[in-house]
Every structure is written in structure tokens, then in C-alpha cells.
Structure 1
């Protein structure tokens, strides 16, 4: 039986937790009072519950798949230096991203830790967005929020960020207002 790295084990645990939350959320929709409309009050929560179940199962499957691929690339009990020298260096390319192998498991490069100032800025932007959502309106505040958030990660791609922000805001607005008959704040545009 293969052992999972701590990161993959965390993905499996998170995936199982998300799947369970989604299942409980979906089951809870059965207690929502039905109406005669096509889109009932339970429709959106049911969609969210099903999406959580699917995404949780996807996360578990992806972690197990990556674990199997790592086991194929780096067989247990071998070291990357020993394998590279035994195979004439050909095995080194197959284990790209693997720093070293020890008897306890595979050691991978850790992703870069988020900068604490960046995390604080994102939370501050989110609370500002919540504060201006009703007075400014959904379309403008969501587009501005998304533009700011995407610009944090890719400041040099401002045109792409702007197009994404505006299109996403308009699509969500149209889907809610015209598709689900859920009215969002219009703010200064109304």
C-alpha cells in the first residue's frame, strides 16, 4: 500500500471534508419549502451542494492520482542520486520537481508562502467590497473588486484582468436577475 505525502494526505482529507459538507448541504435542501415556480428556493442551494460534492471528490481523486504518479516516478527505497547515476542521468528528467527521496517518502518543493501583507490586503478589499456592494451596486462593485484582486496576482496583464472582471460581473448579474429572478443591488446605476 502506498503512503501519501503530507500535502497529498491534506488534499485527501480536505476533499473528504468538502464532499461531506456538500452532502449535508444538499440533504438540507429537502427541508426547504417548495413553491410552484420552476426555480424554487431549494434550486440554488442544491446546485451548491452538488458542486461541493463533485469538487470534493475531484480533489480526492486528483490527490490519489498524483500519489500514484509519484510512486511510478520515484519507486520506494531508491534515491534520486542513485537512480540518476544508475540510469545514466535519464531518470532525473522523469522526476522533475522532486527534490529528494528518503525512506519516509517523497520530498517536494513547497509552494511559495503567501505574503502576509498580501493576505491582509485581500481581506481588507473583501470587506470594502461588502461595504460598497449595496450603495454602489453589484455590477460596479464586483467589477472593481475582481479587477483589484486579479491585478494583485498579475499586475502587468491589466487588459485581461479588466475584460475578465467586467464579463464575469455581467454574466453573474444576468444569470441571477434574468435566469433565477434574484434581484441584485443596482446601486448608482438604478
Structure 2
């Protein structure tokens, strides 16, 4: 198995659970609401499922090409395999921590911590960019959901 297959399967498992939970959200209390609370999380979950399936398929295609190359070269070893498994495991732990901390810390804090931890793990040299991304992304998404879409995200201790 290559990194795309492993990553795709891990993300697919998360996406299925996430999507099921998204569609179990209770309907809005008001009957006049056109878009219910499960629409956006459900759409994100479905898109996540589709992209993870595409990732798995591309992994299988890449694996087939690698086997053809190995047959031509006869016996070359794939480099970086232990590091890729370690990355997938650690990124999965970051994602689990994000899910666990989402409600107690709220959207803004938990998302900023998640993005900062993942970007710092993947590229420590660009720490200024990582801090900017980890602050700009959740704030922008929060204001779009809060002000434009009227979908209220949990604020945790900031509320």
C-alpha cells in the first residue's frame, strides 16, 4: 500500500462517520428556515467522501505504475515508507484531538490550534506563514458562517 491509499482510507472512515453525524443533526426549530443545520456539514462530508475515494483510486493507479517501474528496474526499494506511515498516524492524532477539543474550546480556538499544529508539523521553517494561516482561516470561515449564512458555530470559552 502506498501513502495515498492509506490516507484515503483513513479520511474515508472519518468522512463517513462525520457525514452520518451531520445528517443526524436535529431539524431547525423554526419551520420558516429554508436551509437546515445539517446542509453544510452534510455537503462537506459528502465532498470529503468523494475526494477520499478519488485519493484511494489514484493510490491504486500509482501503485500499478510503481509495480510496472519496479518490474523494469527489478528489485528497487521504495524510500520514505516508514516516514509516510508516521505522518499519517500523527496527522490522524491531530485530527482526533481537533474533534475532541472542538466543543469545549469552540470553533475558533480548536481550528486555529489544529491548523497551527498540522502546518508546524509539516513545515516548521515557515512558522510566520503557519501562524497567519491558523488565525486567518478560522476567523474568515467563522464570519462567513455567522454573518452571511447565519450558521452559528460553537464559541467555547469565547462565547
Which bin holds the TM-score, normalised by the shorter protein? Answer: 0.5 to 0.7
Which protein shows a greater Rg? 1
Residue 86 (structure 2) pairs with residue 114 (structure 1): yes
In structure 2, the partner of 1:43 is: 39
Structure richer in helix, relative to its length: 2
TM-score, normalised with respect to structure 1: 0.54
Question: Gaps (5+ residues) in structure 2?
Answer: none
- Cα RMSD of the aligned pairs, angstroms, is 4.6
After TM superposition, which residue ranges in structure 1, 4 or more long, deviate above 6 angstroms? Answer: none
In structure 1, the partner of 2:146 is: 177
Residue 52 (structure 2) pairs with residue 56 (structure 1): yes
TM superposition shift of 1:175: 2.6
Question: Could you say what secondary structure the match of 1:172 adopts?
Answer: helix
Structure richer in strand, relative to its length: 1
TM superposition shift of 1:165: 0.8
TM superposition shift of 1:66: 0.3
Question: What are the equivalent positions in structure 2 for 1:14-163 lying under 5 Å apart?
Answer: 14=9, 18=13, 21=16, 25=20, 29=23, 33=27, 35-75=31-71, 79-80=73-74, 100-101=75-76, 107-109=77-79, 110-112=81-83, 114=86, 126=98, 129-130=101-102, 133-134=105-106, 138-140=107-109, 142-163=111-132
Question: Gaps (5+ residues) in structure 1?
Answer: 1-5, 81-99, 102-106
Equivalences, count: 150
